[in-house]
Amino acid sequence: MIIEPLAGALGAEIRGVSLAQADAAAWARIHAAFLEHSVLVFRGQALEPADIMEIGARFGPPCEYPFVTGMEGYPHIFEIVKAEDETKNFGGNWHSDTTYLAQPPLATLLYAVESPAYGGDTLFASTRAAYDALSEGMRTLADKLIGINSAGLKHSGGRHDLHKNISGMKIHGTESAERYQYEHPVARTHPDTGRKALYVSRSHTVRFKDMTEEESRPLIDWFQAHQTRPEFTCRVRWTPGTLTVWDNRCTQHNAINDYHGRRRHMRRLTVGPQKPF
């Protein structure tokens, strides 16, 4: 097994392992790399939905996604397809997955079934490195803040409009998106490493507790710009058979929408429901 870092702040590509056949020793190294690098890329993996479920179980039990119906027989895996005639994509903004739930997933698995010859990459940012880079005064402030996170996507055009025009996604429940709202600390502690990371996004955090949206917005915007500075990021290029697993507790991601006219087909699974603290 070869573990090769992708960038200074986060990310690693792991070669020389077939995930569907990995033994306990291999998984011990993978889990250690996951905690160190936060984003792991595995290429050349021929995975069926059952394999994705088994790999996901190595990180935690599957999570529900309340707005999309999963694959037949695999309700926790859903297809993300952007067809040649579509211009909107899924996940095209900086965020950590489903922060509006009481127990968001600790990890997301994304598997490429089809990918364009170029374009359609995903950016990742280390919110752990971003927290570490804060001034003492800003860290003190972040440690005290509680974010109110909503599924309403007020600042991204609304969840229903986002999902309804993306083929391959069987939407449901989008009319009740606003009721999915939860409070989480803006600076959360990783239960395995003990390190802190920022847990706030322009996509999902609508305000801070005991503050208005108007008062909160400038600071949310500042945190978002800070944690996605280039030195905190890495970039993953997709090819068919690539599986990427990332740690939602200390990263954000952004699917780049730069491949109009070319098809992209992914399968997504979130695992490990865990309450931030």
Active-site residue flag, 163? no
pLDDT of residue 160: 47
pLDDT of residue 165: 47
The span from the CA of 201 to the CA of 205, in Å, is 5
Backbone angles phi, psi at 150, to 5 degrees: -130, 145
Domain residue extents for the chain: 2-273
Active-site residue flag, 95? yes
Which is catalytic among the residues 128, 207, 249, 268?
Answer: 268
Architecture of domain 2-273: 4-Layer Sandwich (3.60)
Which is catalytic among the residues 76, 97, 247, 249?
Answer: 97
Active-site residue flag, 121? no
Which is catalytic among the residues 159, 190, 204, 253?
Answer: 253
pTM of the model: 0.93
pLDDT in tens, the chain (277 residues): 999 999 999 999 999 999 999 999 999 999 999 999 999 999 999 999 999 999 999 999 999 888 888 999 999 999 999 999 999 999 999 999 999 999 999 999 999 999 999 999 999 999 999 999 999 999 999 999 999 999 986 555 555 455 554 555 555 554 466 778 999 999 999 999 999 999 999 999 999 999 999 999 999 999 999 999 999 999 999 999 999 999 999 999 999 999 999 999 999 999 999 999 9
Query: HSE of 229 in the Cβ direction (CA atoms, 13 Å)?
Result: 15
Which is catalytic among the residues 76, 95, 128, 184?
Answer: 95
Query: HSE of 96 in the Cβ direction (CA atoms, 13 Å)?
Result: 35
CA torsion, points 103, 267, 46, 260, in degrees to nearest 10? -140
Kindly state the helix (H) or strand (E) to which residue 217 belongs, with its residue range. helix 213-227
Active-site residue flag, 139? no
Q: Cα(first)–Cα(last) distance of the chain, in Å?
A: 34
CB 247 within 8 A of CB 106: yes
Q: What is the DSSP letter of 86?
A: -
Residue 137, both tokens: 């005064």
pLDDT of residue 197: 98
CB 275 within 8 A of CB 103: yes
Query: Amino acid letter at 38?
Result: S
47 beta partners: none
